[in-house]
Structure 1
Amino acid sequence: MLRDNQRKKDRRTKVFLQGGVIVVVLAIVAVVAFAIVTTIKPASPGPRNMLSDGILIGEGFTATRTAALEAGETPVANERDEDSDTIRIQMFVDYFCPICGEFEKANGDQLSTWVESGAAEVEIFPMAILDRLSNGTKYATRAANAAACVADNSPDSYYDYNTILFENQPEEGTDGLTDAELIDLTVEAGVSSPKLVANCIEDQEFKTWVADARTRAQNGPIPNSNVDAVAGTPTVIVNGVKYTGALNDAKAFAAFVIQAENDDSATTSTSTPTPAPAETAAPAETPAP
């Protein structure tokens, strides 16, 4: 009798132990599944007025209005009128990239003159490839997200904000600007919806889109151009042809733009004019990681 009772007790203990093991295993599976789901970034909608992953800015610094890029969709390129005399300049930039800053410093004034007069239109693609150099603050992503917030809520302020970000560009190896400082710069740029822009920056509303857009640019190809993929920043394309001259030489860049205007049928960068001698060595692109 005692032996039977002991066997029954042993069976119950075994069942309880097995049940406990199953519960633990299921709990582990649930934790792992949750971790996988939370680490997989879902596709994210982009900002309004950046359906191409860039924002197109024309005469008088007025931005072309577009719908937002829906999650998981392919960007829609801004087509250029081949019969137009307006030069199309596309720029892929990282706001933490010092070479992008040098290009802006050398060419910003003449770019502004061309765009304001309608001689050229500029399409700016913010990228984030230098997060690793901001001590964990991911400044490149935060700056690109801030720019996207301006495009979404106050697109006609984008050109000014782009200029101001480079004027206040922090050095590599620093934390970069804080979100509060990025917000203050949007006010300086004269955004029309400062509270909406500030909330967007604080919430990093377009953080995932910034990463997705970078991947698309790095995988390429870049529509309506001779660029297979963006290998580094700045990547500058004029009427579909990549500029390969000195990035810090305004005269060389102007000569390239003039040639593009006179030879709109150019399809390869082999037609790049010989750059004028630069006072300093031409910086190379900042390579993508």
Structure 2
Amino acid sequence: MSSRTAYLLGGVAVVVIAIVVAYVMHSSSSSSPKVQADGYGAVHDTAVSALLDSDGAIVLGKTNPTKTIDVYEDPLCPQCGSLEHYYGQQIAKEIDAGKLAVRYRLVNFLDPKSGTKDYSTRAIAAGDCVASAGDGPMFSKFHLALFTTKQPAEEGGSLSNEQLAAIAKDAGASQDVQQCITSGDRLDEARDHATSATSALTSAIKQVQTPTVLDGDKNVDTGDSTWVTKLAG
């Protein structure tokens, strides 16, 4: 093969590789949803409350919302983190508008994949402590941080109770709420709540899969980037 032919073939190969890389990058960026309501942040309206139900569900919303949905998440679940990253602010905006209320049902099946083997349960307990104060914007800020900027890695990641309390403090939690978290007072309750949520999820979709969003008994397609808009009507 002549040097000229080799150079020509090499040039063609470089061009082909560049086209393939550009296509892959374009496809990847096209398939990723945009962050909805970017910049809105957590719930703002002080009329929004956080209510801790006896079954462990944390209901975030105003009185008489247009629609209430169920969101099942594990605090260590990276896909749950993605859901909150892309749609958490839009959900908060619709909650403030009174169009949505969210019944958060947290599960702990990823405990064994955390560094401490109990992170999901402790994070649920921390959420229970925060929700018990009844402050909707505070819980929303805590929940959003827990699943986005502060979420540890699935394989071996974890946060201490003190770190969880610090997240709550940043969200505006009182000393009593922070003490509730650091002391681990709600761990047994959190395990019961996670068991209840797991049972409800299994009954609804016949498996434990997070994130799962239910509109009544309908499994919402969160792969559709307009799902929150459609639910809010």
TM-score, normalization by structure 1: 0.56
Match of 2:170 among 188, 191, 197: 188
Name the counterpart of 1:172.
154
Name the counterpart of 1:161.
142
Note the C-alpha offset of 1:153. 2.9
Q: Which moved more, 1:228-237 or 1:107-116?
A: 228-237
Name the counterpart of 2:17.
none
Note the C-alpha offset of 1:155. 3.7
CA distance in 2, matches of 1:155, 1:126: 19
Q: Which has the larger radius of gyration?
A: 1
Name the counterpart of 1:243.
220
Match of 1:54 among 53, 57, 60: 57
1:1-289 aligned at under 5 Å gives the runs 49-59=52-62, 86-156=66-136, 157-166=138-147, 167-191=149-173, 194-220=174-200, 227=204, 231-246=208-223, 249-251=224-226, 253-254=227-228, 256-257=230-231, 261=233
CA distance in 2, matches of 1:142, 1:233: 18
Amino acid paired to 2:214 = I
Note the C-alpha offset of 1:101. 0.5
Amino acid paired to 2:67 = I
Runs of 5+ consecutive residues of structure 2 not aligned to the other structure: 1-50
CA distance in 2, matches of 1:220, 1:125: 9
Report SS of the residue matched to 1:219: helix
CA distance in 2, matches of 1:105, 1:221: 22
Report SS of the residue matched to 1:96: coil
Query: Are the counterparts in 2 of residues 217 and 229 from structure 1 also a CA contact under 8 Å?
Result: no
- Larger RCO: 1 or 2 (CA < 8 Å, sep 6+): 2
Runs of 5+ consecutive residues of structure 1 not aligned to the other structure: 1-47, 65-80, 262-289
CA distance in 2, matches of 1:238, 1:163: 21
CA distance in 2, matches of 1:164, 1:202: 18
Note the C-alpha offset of 1:216. 2.1
CA distance in 2, matches of 1:87, 1:129: 28
CA distance in 1, matches of 2:213, 2:67: 13
Amino acid paired to 1:139 = Y
Amino acid paired to 2:155 = G
Compared CA separation, residues 221 and 163, structure 1 to 2 (3 A): closer
Report SS of the residue matched to 2:151: coil
TM-score, normalization by structure 2: 0.69
Amino acid paired to 1:254 = V
What is the total number of aligned residue pairs between the two structures?
182
Amino acid paired to 1:135 = G
Report SS of the residue matched to 1:95: coil
Report SS of the residue matched to 1:91: strand
Compared CA separation, residues 230 and 201, structure 1 to 2 (3 A): farther
Amino acid paired to 2:124 = A
Identical residues among aligned pairs (%): 25
Query: Are the counterparts in 2 of residues 57 and 122 from structure 1 also a CA contact under 8 Å?
Result: yes
Note the C-alpha offset of 1:142. 1.1
CA distance in 1, matches of 2:131, 2:81: 20
Report SS of the residue matched to 1:220: helix
